[in-house]
A and B are shown apart, each in its own frame.
Chain A
Amino acid sequence: MSNLLTTLVAVLFFPGLSFILTYALWCQWVSRKAAARLQNRQGPLHTGWQGILQPLADFVKLLVNEDITPAAADKPVFNYSPIAVFAIPLAATFLIPIQSLTNLRGWEPIASFEGDLIIVLFLMSVVILAVFLGGWSSGNVFGAVGATRAALMMLAYEIPLSLVVVGPAILAGSLQISEIVDWQVASVNAFLRAPDIQGLAVAAVLFIGVVIYLICLLAELELRPFDISEAETEIVHGWQVEYSGKKLALLNAGHDVKMVLAAALMTSLFLGGPAGPILPPFAWFILKTTFCVLVLTNLSVLFARFRIDQMVAGAWKYLVPLAVLQVMAVVALSGVI
């Protein structure tokens, strides 16, 4: 009975639905505020303390605004794809270790099994399918162009992303996210006790992985250098062009949840997950994922948009070979062969 209760609390409140949604709004505020400060602006200022309630105000406003379905749209697909864009990344966050409810120092995820890393990667790619269907069904030319661009971008970044994620999995000898976290904690502790050249080499190889992973994330989240599929100034928000009201609210919330998922996956695979000294795991999770969001924001403020052909060619010419090299180096270091 108490087990069922714990599971319900974990799924609905902490670290499940409510926590992830609140945290997604927090990440949007951090991202907007950091981008504004980097551009020498103030950013949201008058909505709550330092504009911290701005994402909530946007979300509530969009929820109650008029919800328009264009006459030319393919109605069922157009209406259901925002739900998929929102729900799929939310489901994937349940597989990320954040905090155990029964043990203050523990961090087992809500659902965990051998191979859940593959499931997370799969869910991250399925979102693009929902994006494509949503844009294509909107009956708008800009929507169709944005949708095809989103699908084309996926062909470029999905392969280096998946290859790079294999690196920590090979080293940990497991495809389970919580075991990869455990391996990182164990190897960092071992390194601190007795520093050796092997540990430094592993860290250097994984750092290449982090860089490739960050570049792929910018494309996955449609942030500035790779916001080709929404490109406000040329194809007016691309695949989202016809969405309004609560569908747009779901799309925006889905984008924020995807950002949380991406930062959480980066934390779990490369930054030691929610482990850390003194503070409980969820506090370290928040610190580390907020750091990832800040890095992503900084990169997206820094660059101007690439063309779609430059992005796809660059990914295949440089990112894929680099990712393959990284996997080969990881295999050599781990001594699997």
Chain B
Amino acid sequence: MKLPETQVAVLEAASADDPRTVESTADETGEPEPSVTGAAFSLEEEGLLAVEETTETDIYLTSEGESYAFEGLPEHTLWATALSLDADERPVDLGRVLAMTTLDDDATDIALANFARKGMGEIDDGGVSVDPDYDLDADPEKRHLDALDEADDGADPADFDADVVERLQGRSLVEEAERTVRRVTLTEAGVTALMEGVEVAETVDQVTPGLVTSGEWAEVEYADYNVEADAEAVYGGRQHPLRGMAERVKDVLVGMGFQEMQGPHVDADFYINDCLFMPQDHPARTHWDRFALEAPAKIDTEDLPADLVEAVERAHREGVGPDGEGYHSPWDEEFARALALRGHTTSLSVRHLAGLADADLEPPERYFSIEKGYRNDTLDATHLLEFFQIEGWVMADDLSVRDLMGTFTEFYEQFGITDIEFKPHYNPYTEPSFELFGRHPETGELIEIGNSGIFRPEMLNPLGVEADVMAWGLALERLYMLVTGAEDIRDVHGTLADLEFLRTEEVTY
């Protein structure tokens, strides 16, 4: 019979009439215990060995027990300190005794309780007197602690006085632990096999094509691997976490019936601001947080649709409708032709609503984009110069504020954000306008999650839109941070990215 090397050793070490523990077998064969256990079970399957399992209880010192074994029991400390102050002759103030020890409040309580129980002396009216004849070394609790301290791997409770052990357990100085002990005995088949002779089978490390095709695989044993050992770190390709978030939001919006928009990142102020009914002297348009281009600087006049320019200028100057009022601000076509990196992606909505991107739109329509906006902000943990704006709008006849609320409630619920509140707000291009607040999925805080509203007639009328359009926007990075708990946006987006983060960040879905 051919058996693997370990099994042969275990079989040879076993006896038919004297059950041997795995532990002793391991000592005898020089094989590690887990290998011996594995081999014993394999041999049991073969019918060559019987394995008997019993559960045994050991007792151990707790960490508190260990420290008392080292430092002495607190009541001993109290006794010895008091004695050094001649408390055998007259009571010594307890406070004075304790001041000389390192006993903390808990240990002091323990010391006082046991001091009295063991009759080591008396404590009366804050004074300590000790029995000088008390023999610390004769204290059975101390002797047990010392003995258990020597038995590192636990001790058999049968070797100790059960009453003392129980008391020490009561003091949480000793604890019990169970362990499984396996004993092996040769079966008759095992005895027979040994008498007929057992050989060590050939083992192989690597399964090779030759081994498989030659049929030799049937003759060999396979060397055990340490299957618990770490394997090398492999980093496969992964989608960028923020990209993954964008894809997830796109899935949600497409599922809600939204079509995706794309369009120019560099665009004329006309589309970025004027078409949004932003007055030309609005601080945001001259403010430094805008990324105006030095070169190229302006779009050509002939590239702006003349009728649209005229309609937008009229809306700015005169307003829209019989009761409309315009802004009391200058309006200049040349100013509108300035090129900039768009500060928001509502410029895409403008181009679509004006029929410049696709064909003219007829209600109902739903559109979205998850594209970059650019803002000359101060770089910090929550601000980058570039951010992905989630922009969405719905065009339909007769949309109400309630439709807007219903749409956003549905959208945010997909990301675990609930209890949406609508704080009335102001945007030059929407009325009514709302800042959106919602309940954070983890912390439960009320947090700002977006800006929304119904586009003003002064914006829609020049674009030739007669239906109602409601719109909202928020930064994808903000949604990402809310959903994942990420705290510094610089880790997530851009060239400062740490590959370790990209390789190990938990995937969200």
- Please say whether chains A and B are actual partners in one complex: no
Residues of B at the A interface (CB closer than 8 Å) are none
Residues of A at the B interface (CB closer than 8 Å) are none
